[in-house]
Amino acid sequence: MANKNMSQNGQKDKLFYYKALNDIGNQIHSAKNINEILINLKDQILSLFDAERITIYVVDSKTKEIYSRFKVGRPELNEIRVPINNHSIAGYTANSAQLTNIADAYDKQELAMINKDLSFDQSWDQKTDFVTKQILTVPIFFKKYVIGVLQLINKKTGERFTLDDQNSAAEMTKVLGIAFFNHKKLSQKKTAPTKFDYLLNNNFITLKELEQAIIKSRERKESIESIFINEMKIKKTDVGRSLGKFYNCEYVPYDSSFPIPGDLLAKLKQVYLRNNHWVPLERRDGKVRILIDDPGRLDKIDSVKSLIPAEEYEFAVGLKEDILQFLDYFFGTPVMSDDGSIDDLLGNLGTEGGDEHDQEDDPNMASEDDSTIVKLVNKIIVDGYKKNCSDIHIEPYPGKEGADIRFRIDGTCTKYQTVPYHFRKAVVSRIKIMSELDISERRKPQDGKIKFKRFYPIDIELRVATIPTVGAEEDVVMRILAAGEPIPLEAMGFNERNSELLNKCINQPYGIFLVVGPTGSGKTTTLHAALHAINKPGTKIWTAEDPVEITQRGLRQVQVLPKIGFDFSAAMRSFLRADPDVIMVGEMRDHETVATGIEASLTGHLVFSTLHTNSAPETITRLLDMGMDPFNFADALLGVLAQRLVRTLCKDCKEAYQPSKEEYDNLVRAYGEGFETLGFPFNDDLTLYRPNGCEKCSSTGYRGRAGLIELLDGTDAMKSLIQGKEKMEDLREQAIKDGMTTLMQDGIRKVFLGATDILQVRKVCIR
């Protein structure tokens, strides 16, 4: 009796199963829009097969690939494309027209029994933190041709897909084959394409959702694109890609690091551009590039050509919101105090300046005291400060060319804007007035400082250097010296050996410790971090700096003034009469300063300083070449820390990937001996990172910088080599024996830790 009931229940389950299958088939057959009906049926299909994920691929005969027409369970992947060959499971099914039913996709032996070339691409799982086990793939036929593949992933019971599942999937593929063929015939009769066909065809939206978005757009007077992005959570890049495909041009998103095209904006009004939704981006090789919301509007195109004469034009499409952001950025936002708005700043610079006369000979030209020039220079400095740039470069060109302005951000120069040629001398003269330099002297380089708080409510200083260039022009470089707090040593990213050795060196009662590297490599930051660690009430610390960038309570800090003879060596001699425990000298650039520092370290003082050399071992040979006594120097030396700053990957968008064996071997070879101690063997779990690009990093893939460290220990063996004036190669070899990792080795360690990539490491160090 029990067996009879079980049999009846099984028959009822099968009846329900085939009824559900039949119902799905009928709905697919009767649907006018195959994409929309599949989205509506996704839950029913997954429930029928008791599966976690489903993907339906369609054959692209042009590229000999299959691409995902419909998928459930991979929201983070836009489109999957797989070659039609035997190297992937879905590709094998499309190639051989054979069904596959796999119990464990990670079981290489099971895959080899199906086909010797068959493999499972584990990178999909690694990208999505998903584990694929069971896979059922069934070819979709129309007549005798394979036109697609149905793929089901992971039976919820954890077992292999059943024979009933195979039969049901085969039945469903027959229905899908007919439906796809009919849908293709209907789509060939469609009317003109729309701006959002890409979103429809790739199942980002349904036709019904598009209709609803259009209605909301009309009611709220918002753009359809903003409704897609803000309410339907479609990525801006996908909406932009759809517009680009429709207009057959490039899509350009807003980028806050884009160079401001001052020469193109000179005669344009922001209000007009906002109303018409277009903005010029750049002029290059006679071609003007324009960003516009509708490249198909002939009236707008004619207006552009009448306002900006050029040999050739290139149009790119952008969202209205992005175009407005570009306009706000290019023209500037309202400033504080009584300066008013600078929306029309670059437009005000566009007044005709006569013909080919130089600015100083033309009474109609703007001068350095004109309010527009004053506002423009303030805006350049404020924008540089807000973008965290370290240096601002003003680069005028002779003739009728303007002045390029570039910002150095994270060690890399990016173009900011171009000032029209009529006003380049006024901009330079304004900066010289702010720096209290001689504006009549243009033949000699000059150095000065700007206390910006006198001109604008931001408390920063700028170190200014002017340099005469060809064509009776002057370049200006301004370094922003933003006052800041010292960074704790623990946050500097040192490895265990370097951290312990550095703490040991800076806590010695006497000796000399040097930090070396090129300009802008973070030497001062590292020294102040070391001083912060030993800055106690019982320790008297004097510093001589040029300029004083970082201030610390407890330190007695002195600004040197070489113009009046108060240089680093003079400051050091003064310190020795002022009862110091620790002396920090900004730079040892001459024999006298170095000799005084070594003498101070031998008479019971701890001395810190910087030097411009390429590596730690080279520092020793450089000082010996300067005439230092090798015995005194060897006795005084505690250690030498060489440093570089490398751009780090953006934490919000960096992309994980598994490196190839060849890439891994290249990294091992570049590291040299001792790589195995890092603990990064080559296996399936090894992950590196590469740049991707997002709004937060201005689509560069990099944001911020980290230090690469090379720390030489002043061991007895090293001191012996110094006393014998041995070659730099011998010093390097001994330093490595003493445990030093080179700059390159520290960089490769940070590559494996996911902080940067090898391209950036190679840009800042050789070995």
Which residue is it, tokens 């409704």?
227
Contact present, 739 and 713 (Cβ < 8 Å): yes
Q: What is the pLDDT of residue 6?
A: 42
Q: What is the pLDDT of residue 468?
A: 93
**Dihedral angle at the C-alpha atoms of 415, 420, 425, 428, nearest 10 degrees?**
-30
Show Cβ contacts of residue 491 under 8 Å, excluding neighbours closer than 6 positions. Answer: none
Q: How far is CA 633 from the centre of its chain?
A: 43
Q: What is the pLDDT of residue 103?
A: 92
Q: What is the pLDDT of residue 722?
A: 92
CA distances (Å), 454 to each of 134, 338, 378, 457, in order? 70, 14, 11, 8
Low-confidence ranges of the chain (pLDDT < 50): 1-9, 12, 190, 333-344, 350-364
DSSP state of 223: -
Which residue is it, tokens 């504006």?
439
Which residue from 390, 543, 552 is spatially nearest to 486, judged by alpha carbons? 552
Any idea what the Cα angle at residue 414 is, between residues 413 and 419, rounded to 5°? Answer: 115
Contact present, 730 and 673 (Cβ < 8 Å): no
Show Cβ contacts of residue 284 under 8 Å, excluding neighbours closer than 6 positions. Answer: none
How far apart are the C-alpha atoms of 268 and 330, rounded to whole Å?
A: 12
DSSP state of 561: B
Contact present, 280 and 326 (Cβ < 8 Å): no
How far apart are the C-alpha atoms of 549 and 486, rounded to whole Å?
A: 10
Q: What is the pLDDT of residue 354?
A: 39
How far apart are the C-alpha atoms of 10 and 742, rounded to whole Å?
A: 71
Name the strand (E) or helix (H) holding 664. helix 661-671
Reported pTM: 0.57
The helix/strand/coil state of 254 is coil
How far apart are the C-alpha atoms of 466 and 447, rounded to whole Å?
A: 6
How far apart are the C-alpha atoms of 203 and 350, rounded to whole Å?
A: 48
- Give the number of other CB atoms < 10 A from CB of residue 686: 12
Q: What is the pLDDT of residue 28?
A: 67
Q: How far is CA 177 from the centre of its chain?
A: 44
Q: What is the pLDDT of residue 32?
A: 56
Strands (E), 208-349: 278-284, 287-292, 312-317
Name the strand (E) or helix (H) holding 549. none
Q: What is the pLDDT of residue 567?
A: 84
